[in-house]
Amino acid sequence: MKKIIGINILTAALILGAGCTKLDQTFYDKVTPETFFKSEKDIKAALYRPFTHARWYMGADRWNLQEYTADHFAITTKGRHWYNGGENERFHYHRWTPDDNWVWGTWRGTLMGVALALDAKSDLEKLDYTKFALTQADKDDHVNQLNTLIAYFYLRGLDYFGGLPVFETLEGESLPRNTDKETFDHIEKLLKTAVEKLPKKKAGDAEEGALRQAAAATLLAQLYFNAEAYINKPMFAECKKLCEDILAKQYGDYSLDPTWYGPHSFTNNKSPEIIWSIPSEFNKLQYDWFYATFYHYNTNKYFDMDGGANNGAHLQPSQKPTGESYTADFRLGAPYGRFNDQDLRKKPYKYLGSGRYEGMFIIGPHVTPAGAAITGGEEYKGLPLVFVDQVARFSEVGPDERYKSIAELPSKMSEGEENTGARLVKVPMPNNADKSLRWGADNPAIRLTEIQYMLAECLLRDGDKGTAATLINAVRKRNFTNGADPDPVTVDNLDEYRMLDEWGVEFLGEGRRRTDLIRWKKFTTGTWWDHAPSAPHFNRFPVPTQAISGNNNLQQNEGY
């Protein structure tokens, strides 16, 4: 297939994914890959392009669908802000529709990722690498990295929607959806081939964004781990075997980071735990999509850095307006309250200089590094801000106010304030003095702890709680001073809810919570803060209206 200069790959993605009719183009030139590529630099540019799409894909709409629909995060309405036409409430209450933008953005972004990777693969397969002082091994590596990336996009799409249009060239249009099983089998085939052909990471190698053998093996393990939700066939035994082999270093040399912050720090590319990450660097491809939504308008003063935010997202509350804990009422949700008070991560975030920091939450009095109070601009205009692990209109309590006492306050999605909810700082923020470190933390897409926890869950399901507890505790101990864990996992306390708690505290904010709840059959049956059980069809998202309107071969998911 000839490359046509001037055609945006998005057009191909839309033709394949949404079924748009062919668009008229002005063709300025036609060249083949063999003549277009002039150097190794050109080859790497083609290889890297779909990876930049993956960087974008891991945040924004995809993260939104995983986290705002589950029991950890919310965007409450805060007075005059953030109602957004009811969008945030629709996702929290499981009332979304095929017309919602997050759904369309995810469908389109998934198939665009496949198209970009296929386009690069098609070009690189045609090249004689020896003409660029490269080897056949280099070519095999590049092609199988792209195969793995294609499998990654399809895996995420299968998780969100079920079966997708499966295509291996960019020559078709208005393709129908393949079945769940056909999509599953396609992913499995790509990953099995990649596992055989990709190189292994060696001890001491820094992680710089390349997909290596262990990454493909982990994606295959993820496919099997959630197979019951995908194709109604439990495959925990297959997942268990892969996890055991990864931990035994059969797919490369990885080990748990000795510190809780190592996998997330400014230098996490050196962490022995990282299996695959998306590189980030100040003023380049930045891992920063979350900043504006997560933090208050004045939180830049807390960080002592430039750049405002828009104060949307926060953790769902662990406490009622009266201060009582929700953990006694709900086995799910209350994320901040699930952290032990001695957990080093539960401290308020504080930058210590020279890339060092402590804690990963914004909670309590909001102050500058010098200790000066940071004031609000809405309900607490001119007053010191204090972030609370609660959702309620505390500013409206008083003799002449809407509520006479705190006991009267409702706690629900419509009742937020500007200081509502603990804020997560999992990606460290430097101050202006160390501005060159800003966005220096890479996005850890896969880390070894996931393998350890997947194996633990498989063992739990097999009835081997003792070994499962040992695996989890090996991770937990790094979160406490001198490794002294006051609440380790034991045979007696390990059940499905404790397992979900462990996934929750370790991977808080890493864009996976919905999938974990679905695997344990809790997503549509569970109850948490301001959320009641929903209908089973909400385990999957609908095919977007915009996709179906352009392709009458696409069938809608059941229930929509």
- pLDDT tens, 492-543? 999 999 999 999 999 999 999 999 999 999 999 999 999 999 999 999 999 9
Residue 548 has pLDDT above 80, yes or no: yes
The CA distance from 216 to 222, in Å, is 10
Is 270 in contact with 259 (CB distance < 8 Å)? no
Query: What are residue 352's phi and psi, to 5 degrees?
Result: -105, -5
How many residues in the chain? 560
The CA distance from 232 to 97, in Å, is 24
Residue 8 has pLDDT above 80, yes or no: no
Residue 29 has pLDDT above 50, yes or no: no
Question: pLDDT confidence of 32, banded at 50, 70, 90?
Answer: low
First vs last C-alpha separation in the chain = 38
Dihedral class, residue 252 (left if φ above 0, else alpha if ψ from -120 to 50, else beta): left
Residue 139 has pLDDT above 50, yes or no: yes
Question: Counting runs of H as helices and runs of E as strands, what totals does the chain give?
Answer: 18, 12
**Nearest Cα to 445, choosing from 222, 281, 253, 260?**
222
Is 50 in contact with 149 (CB distance < 8 Å)? yes
Is 46 in contact with 37 (CB distance < 8 Å)? yes
Q: For residue 7, what pLDDT is reported?
A: 31
**Nearest Cα to 223, choosing from 215, 213, 211, 235?**
235
Give the burial class of 415: count Cβ atoms within 10 A of its Cβ; 0-12 exposed, 13-18 middle, 19 or more buried. Answer: buried
Sign of the CA dihedral with 470 first, then 471, 476, and 477 last: positive
Q: For residue 17, what pLDDT is reported?
A: 46
Q: At what angle do helices 136-161 and 213-225 cross, to 10 degrees?
A: 20
Residue 13 has pLDDT above 70, yes or no: no
Q: For residue 207, what pLDDT is reported?
A: 81
Local structure of 307: helix, strand or coil = coil
Residue 366 has pLDDT above 80, yes or no: yes
What digits encode the pLDDT tens for the residues 146-161? 999 999 999 999 999 9
Which structure tokens are listed for 209?
Answer: 């964004």
* The amino acid at 144: N
Residue 21 has pLDDT above 50, yes or no: no
The CA distance from 195 to 190, in Å, is 9
Average pLDDT value for the chain: 94
**Nearest Cα to 394, choosing from 292, 319, 328?**
319
Q: For residue 206, what pLDDT is reported?
A: 78
Domain ranges, ordered by start, for the chain: 1-186+506-560, 288-438
Question: What mean pLDDT comes out for the span 234-252?
Answer: 98
What digits encode the pLDDT tens for the residues 251-288? 999 999 999 999 999 999 999 999 999 999 998 899 99
The CA distance from 439 to 186, in Å, is 35
231 to 223, 235, 343, 411: CA distances (angstroms): 10, 10, 38, 38
Residue 169 has pLDDT above 70, yes or no: yes
CATH code of the region 1-186+506-560: 1.25.40.390
Q: For residue 470, give every residue at least 6 positions away whose Cβ sits within 8 Å of its Cβ, in sequence order, or none.
A: none
- Count of alpha carbons within 13 Å of 194, Cβ hemisphere only? 28
Question: pLDDT confidence of 205, banded at 50, 70, 90?
Answer: confident
Indicate the helix (H) or strand (E) that contains 518: helix 513-519
Which structure tokens are listed for 146?
Answer: 């792209």
Dihedral class, residue 81 (left if φ above 0, else alpha if ψ from -120 to 50, else beta): beta
Indicate the helix (H) or strand (E) that contains 516: helix 513-519
What digits encode the pLDDT tens for the residues 403-420? 999 999 999 999 999 999
Question: What mean pLDDT comes out for the span 224-251?
Answer: 98
The CA distance from 91 to 29, in Å, is 46
Question: pLDDT confidence of 202, banded at 50, 70, 90?
Answer: confident
**Nearest Cα to 396, choosing from 411, 388, 386, 406?**
406
What digits encode the pLDDT tens for the residues 316-342? 999 999 999 999 899 999 999 999 999
The CA distance from 42 to 48, in Å, is 10
Is 165 in contact with 153 (CB distance < 8 Å)? no
Is 112 in contact with 53 (CB distance < 8 Å)? yes
Q: At what angle do helices 136-161 and 101-125 cross, to 10 degrees?
A: 160
**Nearest Cα to 289, choosing from 527, 109, 554, 514?**
109
- Quickly tell me which residue has 């071969």 as its tokens: 553
The CA distance from 46 to 50, in Å, is 8
Is 451 in contact with 243 (CB distance < 8 Å)? yes
**Nearest Cα to 508, choosing from 560, 461, 449, 548?**
449
Residue 23 has pLDDT above 70, yes or no: no
Query: What are residue 518's phi and psi, to 5 degrees?
Result: -65, -40
Q: For residue 2, what pLDDT is reported?
A: 31
Residue 25 has pLDDT above 60, yes or no: no
Indicate the helix (H) or strand (E) that contains 3: strand 3-4
Maximal CA-CA distance, the chain? 82
| Strand partners for 376 | 381
Query: What are residue 211's phi and psi, to 5 degrees?
Result: -90, 120
Residue 81 has pLDDT above 60, yes or no: yes
Q: What is the CA radius of gyration of the chain?
A: 24
Q: For residue 447, what pLDDT is reported?
A: 98
Q: For residue 9, what pLDDT is reported?
A: 40
Q: For residue 34, what pLDDT is reported?
A: 66
**Angle value at C-alpha 85, between 19 and 525, nearest 5 degrees:** 80
Which structure tokens are listed for 275?
Answer: 């299996």
